[in-house]
Structures are given as structure tokens and as C-alpha cells.
Amino acid sequence: MERAKVHKQKRANLLEMVCFGLDNEGKQQVKKLNIKSIVIDSGTQSRAAISEDTVTDYAEAMTAGDEFPPVVVYFDGVDYYLADGFHRLHAALRLGKASIQADVRTGTLRDAILYSLGANNNHGLRRSNADKRKCVQTLLEDFEWGELSINEMARICSVSPQLVLAVKQEADGGVKVSSQTTNAPKKAKPVKLNNVVEAPDDNFEPDEAVKELVAENQRLSDRLAVESMDASEEERLAASETITELRERVVLLELENASLKISRDTFQRENGELKKTVAGLQRQLKKQS
């Protein structure tokens, strides 16, 4: 029954993507979202731990009528990934709320992860040194972001270049730097996540009806564009044939892109494991020397 609800929600998300079109790159809108539709366990939580005390404070403030900024989510056409606002969302869950105000932005899971690394720098619970270190480690362990410069990593994570360098040296087998800081919160107990809904199945594929709906939407858009041209019938026919040919090329490129993403994800996992193995071997060598 639960999987059926998830499938229904994903179909609704796909239909929403069709209705709004695919030209909303970079745009955002604030609206209420069903909390169950927000994915929270795909690596977008950039803190070392959720503070139970902060969740309690937020829940009490919400009960008193205080208004909070919308949480930030990234929508890829299927899933809403939470990028900022975990304490607010947990507080809403504790109060039994079904929906939450969200700043919805167009983007992928990686966009959400990247945004989360610099979140909470100027608002919310002040980040501890452990939080900052986790953000830096996320970049260092990534197959793509790990190639960025020290200064660029510092800018993304809103930390000092010195901290990035220290974490990098530690990951490479250097001396561990103390994670204590006067900025650390007093308590940071993990929140029990019994009420949090699990993320939908990543292997979900839209059914044939939805695929056909997307294709039909494209065909109608192309037809309207051709008919609105101030051109002769021959020129319109040529334009229609060109659009059809381009659509076919797009399909082929999408298939190639999907294959590249699979290869990329596989490489990323293998690269992460290799880095951990190398770091472990370097630590062993240093102890023996």
C-alpha cells in the first residue's frame, strides 16, 4: 500500500514537470509541500548530527506561532531533495504537521548536496567544527568536486582555506587536527527518526502512460511553434522535419547521458573506496616508520 502511494506521488511529480515545462532551469518558487514527498536521506544532510535541543526549540516556537523561513528543496522532475532546513522539518514532523513551506528550486540531487554544504552559515543553529569538517570531507571524497582548488572548496563550504587544507592533509595521512571549537553547540544529540518517511525507490521508472503524455506534450508544442511561424508552407514543412530530426537526436543523447551517469556513479563509488584504502595504507606506513 505504501509503495502504491509513493508511485502515485511520483506520477504526480512527473505530471507537474510536464505542466510547468522543462524550461525552468534555475528558477524557484515558494509553495507548501507534503512532507512525505521530501527526500531527506540521500546525502543532503551536511551536519555531523541533528540537534535534538534545537528541534525542541523550533517546535515550541512553531507552536507559539513564530514563522520560519521556508526550507530549501531541489526538484529534478521526480523527487524533492531537502537541501536546507532539516531542523525545521523535524520540528514540523514532531508537531504532526503534514506539510511545510518550501523554497522549490529546479536542480538535481548533486545540486542539492552542493547547496547544503554552505547552508546554515548565516542562519539557523551555528555550525560546529565537526559540521564544517563533514562538508569539506564531502567535497574531498567526490570524484568531481575533489579536484577543486582549496580556495574554491572553502568558498563552497563557507569555511577558511586553512580548515580545508587541514582536513585534506588528514585525509591524505597527515596529523589529525583537533575538531574542538568555541563555536560548537552545547549539545548535539541525534534525533530519533522514527516518523521520517523513507525515500522512494530510486529505481522507479515512469509508466508508459506518463511517457506518452510527455511525448504528446512535446509534439503539440512543436506543432504550435511551426504553425505560428510567419513562413510559407514549404518552410514550415522543412522546419517540422528539422524539429523531428532534432528530437530524435535528443533521445539518443539522453540515452548516452544516462549511460554516462551510470559509469560516473560507479567510478565515484570506486574512487571513494580507493581513497579510503590509500589513506589507510598511508597511516599504517607512517606508524611503522
Which residue's entry shows cell 587536527? 177
Read off the C-alpha cell for 196.
Answer: 521520517
2-48: pLDDT as tens digits: 555 555 555 555 445 444 443 444 456 899 999 999 999 989 998 98
Whole-angstrom CA distances from 208 to 13, 16, 173 are: 15, 17, 51
Contact criterion met (CB below 8 Å) for 165 and 157: no
- Identify the burial level of 11 via C-beta atoms within 10 angstroms of its C-beta, where 0-12 means exposed, 13-18 middle and 19 or more buried: middle
Which residue's entry shows cell 523550533? 58
pTM of the predicted structure, to 2 decimals:
0.53
Q: Would you call 102 helix, strand, or coil by DSSP?
A: strand
Along the 289 residues of the chain, how does pLDDT read in single tens digits?
555 555 555 555 544 544 444 344 445 689 999 999 999 998 999 898 899 999 999 999 999 999 999 999 999 888 999 999 999 999 999 999 999 999 999 999 999 999 999 887 777 788 888 999 999 999 999 989 999 999 999 999 999 999 999 999 888 875 554 444 334 444 444 444 444 444 444 444 556 677 677 777 777 777 777 788 788 888 888 888 888 888 777 777 777 777 777 778 777 777 777 877 887 787 778 777 6
Cα torsion 24, 30, 31, 36: sign: positive
CA distance 102 to 221: 30
For the domain spanning 1-119+189-200, the CATH number is: 3.90.1530.10
93-115: pLDDT as tens digits: 999 999 999 999 999 999 999 99
